[in-house]
Chain A
């Protein structure tokens, strides 16, 4: 490589800096924060070059990155930059998409190698097998020993080349005191070949009737098992379709606004705080918040929500989603591995490799399986030798070989992971993130589903519906005082009241001595007046006379509104009512859950009358109302103590203790802001249909696993005795090793193919449960 001398003043103009590296050195890329001029570049480059082991360091000011070659550690480089007064971090050394590409190339190369090996093995095996099937004599005679010797040597070539990996793997496993599929194939084909070579080389050692050769079995088995492995590689490639799709959503470059210019840079070089422009039809590169412009965003690829979502200034946008109509400038808030998309990918990958409890039996069996099969092979050979008809030696060899070949530990090993992989991926496509195999299995067993009310059954966007001032109070004045008081509250209803006041153009006053009284309401001082806002308990505790207003409040509650009493200076001042609209499809989704035989229970801190009215509208008969936040978890625990398998659905943040106590916690949210790590299953769509879909899909996945496990068990439980010769005494049938090889090869393909059926699972598509505008 030609060495080019580059001065520090040149470096900030160049996109790439060719330079030589000492042997054994590696290149590292650092993102630099805080550098904004040529002298910063000189300082940083000098600091890096002074680190022992650094061969060269070049900084690009525009891209705010430094390329370092040498053997110095990342930590030393970051420290050096910090010592110079700046900040540095390492870019991801390789993108997910590149890793996936490399994996696909490796899988393709492996597949091609297996097909080649299959062809070579079958090129010998098929003609030999056809010869035997069409009446050819497979027994040794004096005049054809040389021919069979040549065929034997050709078969040896098949074992050493297309079949080599079985023997090498089998040998290494044996040395390691373990045994796997390679051990069985190597032993089975090796035994058949060795016996055949003894027959060819030393026929007088073998009884006349037993002088048959099995070279065709050896070649065919190696060919067919290689073919089975190749088909399995192909089928397994399809199981990771979901992850490929998610990784494909990651943009490779982004348009960043820096120093008054628009630059297209790799997304690895983006930092929090960067301003980015995205045009219609482009994918959002990182998570951010809109600073200019307005557009509608297609978030279906992440959340499963089919309706576009309008994004305005202040709204969040997510990496991987599609900007549909307008041009936006947004500020990056999460980049690299911190974006919601990256976290979803990691979560799905981890979940795909986790195992539900149902699969653990196969794990236990797997560790004993292969040695157990070897013992059965020895026992069947002994049985034939002791009790079988002549030629007993031939029968013993055939039976033992066939037992070793037909046994399929792979089918058992694949049964659970393949279904989990496809199923979890399918769920992710529908915006359902399953965190673990355990959550998946529990979700399929749920008997009771607890639903929080606000934000789960309802939209979580309450609005003021009624303002009923008492005598002596004006409506606007009452609203202004209540809204001023609510400024200090974090309650979901507070925002609705504050919004209503602002819509009326009311100026809110400062609140003093604000305090929230759990389970009752709030109090504080506004404009010198002592105010109370809350439920009947609060009013009674402070001696406020409600007169007949309680009936009015009841009437409002019966309309599924939440009425709140308001008092000023100890005197009742009126009622304000707030209503949180139901999600349009809540009733439908709850009906689906009930049709699955699941008890649906509503849990809310709201008053009983309002809760009953809401429950009636959505078809829920069981309610826990007026539940204090601290008691929600106890309600969950109580149901579990009754023997129920409890699913709890909440927003993942406020309901965290209850979610953690449930058998399965479902965190439901709108968009990608939902707390993904807080529950066993996260529903990215706000619709409760996601809940019903999650339960449906979990049942389908567990059913699929059961089918695979049952199939693998039955296959081995039936195949091994048949291979050993159990049908011979009654039917005179002994299974051919070639047929055993074919059955074995295709048994694991069958498992993978059955798992792939989950890709056709249909979730319920619904209309948007959230309005088009936030």
Chain B
């Protein structure tokens, strides 16, 4: 029984680490628009890093037909856009102060982060 309990605890530790503690690496984008695929429940890429002084254009290409995926919201920036299916929708953001800006769909099935650093 101790083996099963240990495996269970290990699984819990793995869940905590994988979903809450692990920091995925960011895709760094210096120039040009940032293309983000919206499909299969995830934004690809979901973790993007841009320089602090740079206005960014995010080009969302939505391939998921579910209504969950039809809106992208940047709650901290009060920005939202409707994403048309199988088309590219551009979201232009002004230069932002340093920080992490979450973006997600209406139900938060899809989640992404925009890291703005010096």
Interface residues of A (CB under 8 A from B): 99, 102-103, 106-107, 109-110, 113, 165, 168-182, 229, 232-233, 236, 349-350, 353-355, 360, 363, 366-368, 370-371, 374-375, 378-379, 381-382, 385-386, 409-410, 413-414, 417, 436
Contact A363 B108 (CB under 8 A): yes
Contact B107 A378 (CB under 8 A): no
Q: Does B93 count as interface, using CB distance less than 8 angstroms?
A: no
Tell me which residues across on chain A come within 8 A of B110, comparing CB atoms: 180
Tell me which residues across on chain B come within 8 A of A379, comparing CB atoms: 8, 12
Known: A102-B84, A417-B106. 16 other contacts (CB 8 A): A99-B84, A107-B65, A110-B66, A165-B40, A168-B40, A173-B41, A178-B111, A179-B19, A353-B71, A353-B73, A354-B80, A374-B15, A385-B4, A409-B107, A413-B108, A414-B107
C-alpha gap A178/B24 in the complex (Å):
10
Contact B65 A110 (CB under 8 A): yes
C-alpha gap A409/B84 in the complex (Å):
25
Contact B22 A177 (CB under 8 A): yes
C-alpha gap A360/B18 in the complex (Å):
24
Chain B contributes a number of interface residues (CB within 8 A of A) equal to 36
Tell me which residues across on chain A come within 8 A of B71, comparing CB atoms: 353
Tell me which residues across on chain B come within 8 A of A113, comparing CB atoms: 65
A74 CB → nearest B CB, Å: 13
Main secondary structure of the interface of B (DSSP, over half): mixed
C-alpha gap A149/B73 in the complex (Å):
46
Q: Does B82 count as interface, using CB distance less than 8 angstroms?
A: yes
Contact A375 B40 (CB under 8 A): no
C-alpha gap A106/B78 in the complex (Å):
27
Name B45's closest neighbour in chain A (CB-CB).
Answer: A176
Known: A110-B66, A168-B40, A410-B107. A378 touches B12 (CB 8 A): yes
C-alpha gap A484/B75 in the complex (Å):
55
A744 CB → nearest B CB, Å: 14
The contact sample of 19 A-B pairs, CB cut-off 8 A, is A102-B84, A103-B70, A107-B67, A110-B66, A110-B67, A169-B41, A177-B22, A177-B24, A179-B19, A180-B109, A182-B109, A353-B106, A363-B75, A366-B108, A368-B20, A379-B8, A382-B5, A409-B107, A410-B107
C-alpha gap A42/B103 in the complex (Å):
49
Known: A173-B41, A413-B106. A375 touches B16 (CB 8 A): yes
Q: How many contacts between A and B, using CB within 8 angstroms? A: 111
Chain B 46-83 interface residues, beta-carbon cutoff 8 Å to A: 46, 65-67, 70-71, 73, 75, 78, 80, 82
Tell me which residues across on chain A come within 8 A of B41, comparing CB atoms: 168-170, 172-173, 180, 182
Q: Does B42 count as interface, using CB distance less than 8 angstroms?
A: yes
Contact B5 A102 (CB under 8 A): no
Tell me which residues across on chain B come within 8 A of A180, comparing CB atoms: 41, 108-110
Chain B 4-28 interface residues, beta-carbon cutoff 8 Å to A: 4-5, 8, 11-12, 15-16, 18-20, 22, 24
Tell me which residues across on chain A come within 8 A of B66, comparing CB atoms: 110, 229, 233
B17 CB → nearest A CB, Å: 10
Tell me which residues across on chain A come within 8 A of B80, comparing CB atoms: 349-350, 353-354
Known: A172-B41, A233-B67, A382-B5. A103 touches B107 (CB 8 A): no
Known: A386-B1, A410-B107, A413-B108. A375 touches B85 (CB 8 A): no
Contact B12 A173 (CB under 8 A): no
C-alpha gap A181/B107 in the complex (Å):
10
C-alpha gap A68/B118 in the complex (Å):
42
Contact B46 A176 (CB under 8 A): yes
Contact A178 B8 (CB under 8 A): no
Known: A99-B84, A378-B15, A386-B1. A176 touches B42 (CB 8 A): yes
Contact A354 B78 (CB under 8 A): yes
Among all A-B residue pairs, the 3 with the closest Cβ atoms: A169-B41, A353-B80, A413-B107
C-alpha gap A375/B15 in the complex (Å):
7
B4, B19, B75, B78: which has the most chain A beta carbons within 10 Å? B19
A596 CB → nearest B CB, Å: 28
C-alpha gap A176/B109 in the complex (Å):
12
Contact B8 A378 (CB under 8 A): yes
C-alpha gap A370/B19 in the complex (Å):
9
Known: A173-B41, A176-B24. A371 touches B5 (CB 8 A): no
Known: A371-B20, A413-B106. A109 touches B65 (CB 8 A): yes
Contact partner of B15 among A106, A107, A178, A371, CB < 8 A?
A371
Contact B42 A173 (CB under 8 A): yes
B38 CB → nearest A CB, Å: 11
Tell me which residues across on chain A come within 8 A of B18, comparing CB atoms: 174, 177
Tell me which residues across on chain B come within 8 A of A354, comparing CB atoms: 78, 80
Contact B65 A382 (CB under 8 A): no
Contact B4 A382 (CB under 8 A): yes
Tell me which residues across on chain B come within 8 A of A232, comparing CB atoms: 67
Contact A172 B42 (CB under 8 A): yes
Contact A102 B85 (CB under 8 A): yes
Name B8's closest neighbour in chain A (CB-CB).
Answer: A382
Tell me which residues across on chain A come within 8 A of B82, comparing CB atoms: 99, 349
B107 CB → nearest A CB, Å: 4
C-alpha gap A386/B8 in the complex (Å):
12
B73 CB → nearest A CB, Å: 6
Tell me which residues across on chain B come within 8 A of A382, comparing CB atoms: 4-5, 8
C-alpha gap A173/B46 in the complex (Å):
10
Contact partner of B109 among A109, A378, A413, CB < 8 A?
A413
A198 CB → nearest B CB, Å: 15
A247 CB → nearest B CB, Å: 12
C-alpha gap A370/B41 in the complex (Å):
14
A723 CB → nearest B CB, Å: 18
Tell me which residues across on chain A come within 8 A of B111, comparing CB atoms: 178, 367
B45 CB → nearest A CB, Å: 9
C-alpha gap A174/B11 in the complex (Å):
14
